[in-house]
Amino acid sequence: MEHAKPPLTLFLAAPRGFCAGVDRAIKIVEMALQKWGAPVYVRHEIVHNKYVVDSLRAQGAVFVEELEECPDDRPVIFSAHGVPRSVPAEARRRDMVFVDATCPLVSKVHMEAARHHADGLQLVMIGHAGHPEVLGTMGQLPEGEVILVETVDDVARMCPRDPARLAFITQTTLSVDDTAAIVAALQARFPEIVGPAKEDICYATTNRQAAVKAIAPRIEALLVIGAQNSSNSKRLVEVGRAEGCNYSQLVMRADQIDWRAIEGVRHVGVTAGASAPEVLIDEVIDAFRARYEVTVEIVETAQENIEFKVPRVLRQIA
């Protein structure tokens, strides 16, 4: 006789998974393929998820890291994370057809940066060095105009041109709590610094972190579905740990779950980064059902109904 499966409760964070910016970026690639046929080039992973990228590649998208790798005569799409100004400038120079899939909430930060610069302020950006969004946002201004800080210690080490003429902006996918500490350090050292009411972290990042906080006290393990290069997904793992869930792991999909490590665990939290499709969450739930008598409890801390329109050039397509 087959052994009865052990009971296990899955606490599903809500909201989780796709945000409006990711949804729009993926639609842009799909609609561009419909409009222009394959191949359509995409500069950088459209969103940081291998499953999404592989599915689009199967439909005819070609992913490259730099514009130089694209031919002049095929359309190119810029990823959701944004691009430095030099990129569309070069595409225009080469007379290329391009569609910018930068999330409108990232573009908003680009505009803030440009506005502060026009007001004669030097910019401080809170973000992670090397991340494409940071490269894109810093690349809105001439070199040397943006000081990048990653930690409270970096704030102490800063040497601005004029401490009284500063503004700050942030990456959209940071830890809400870590960023609050860095903003406080900036304001303490530079009382005249100008900035947004809190920071530029987007609604999706904020909501997903709040949902993890709500489930953390009820679970012994947290699985975050997302990719290693996904900033917002990695922040969810950190939030889980900071809230006392020591076993918090990032998994790309079900085959990466370390079943031994969670043996004996009866309460597992599941969430997904803004770039992880719901099919991968379903796959993880199914993998649990194959091994446990699963009860699913959805823990909803916010409702999201934000949608972003695709650029006009693609809108006539059904």
Which residue ranges make up the site for ligand 0CN (CB under 6 A)? 21-22, 47-48, 80-81, 103, 106, 133, 173, 230-233, 273-275
- Min dist CB 60 to ligand 0CN, Å, is 21
Residues in the chain: 318
When binding is defined by CB under 6 A, the residue of 137, 173, 179, 248 that contacts ligand SF4 is 173
Task: Report how far apart, in Å, the C-alpha atoms of 236 and of each of 90, 200, 241, 248, 308 are.
Answer: 36, 17, 9, 9, 24
Q: Does 204 bind ligand SF4 (CB under 6 A)?
A: yes
Nearer to ligand SF4, 19 or 268 (CB): 19
Long-range contacts of range 59-66, CB-CB < 8 Å, 24 or more positions apart? Answer: 59/30, 59/33, 60/33, 61/29, 61/33
Nearer to ligand 0CN, 80 or 123 (CB): 80
Q: 307 near 20, Cβ under 8 Å?
A: yes
When binding is defined by CB under 6 A, the residue of 21, 82, 132, 195 that contacts ligand SF4 is 21
Segment interacting with ligand SF4 (CB under 6 A) among 8-16, 123-131, 201-209, 282-290? 201-209
| Among ligand 0CN, ligand SF4, none, residue 20 binds (CB under 5-8 Å by kind) | ligand SF4
Q: Which of 30, 45, 112, 133 is catalytic?
A: 133
CA distance 114 to 126: 16
> x/- contact string, 246-275, with ligand SF4 (CB under 6 A)?
----------------------------x-
Q: Does 277 bind ligand SF4 (CB under 6 A)?
A: no
Annotated binding site: 19, 48, 81, 103, 131, 172, 202, 230-232, 275
Nearer to ligand SF4, 109 or 221 (CB): 109
Nearer to ligand 0CN, 179 or 232 (CB): 232
Q: Report the first-to-last Cα separation within the chain, whole angstroms.
A: 54
Give the CA count within 13 Å in the CB-facing half-sphere of 83. Answer: 24
Q: Is 133 a catalytic residue?
A: yes
Q: 314 near 28, Cβ under 8 Å?
A: yes
Task: Report how far apart, in Å, the C-alpha atoms of 74 and of each of 96, 99, 317 are.
Answer: 7, 11, 19
- Min dist CB 272 to ligand 0CN, Å, is 10
CA distance 223 to 254: 10
Q: Does 19 bind ligand SF4 (CB under 6 A)?
A: yes
Closest residue to bound ligand SF4 by CB: 21
The residue among 15, 100, 65, 22 whose CA lies nearest residue 276 is 22
Detail the DSSP E strand segments found in 191-261.
221-225, 247-251
Q: Please list the active-site residues.
A: 133
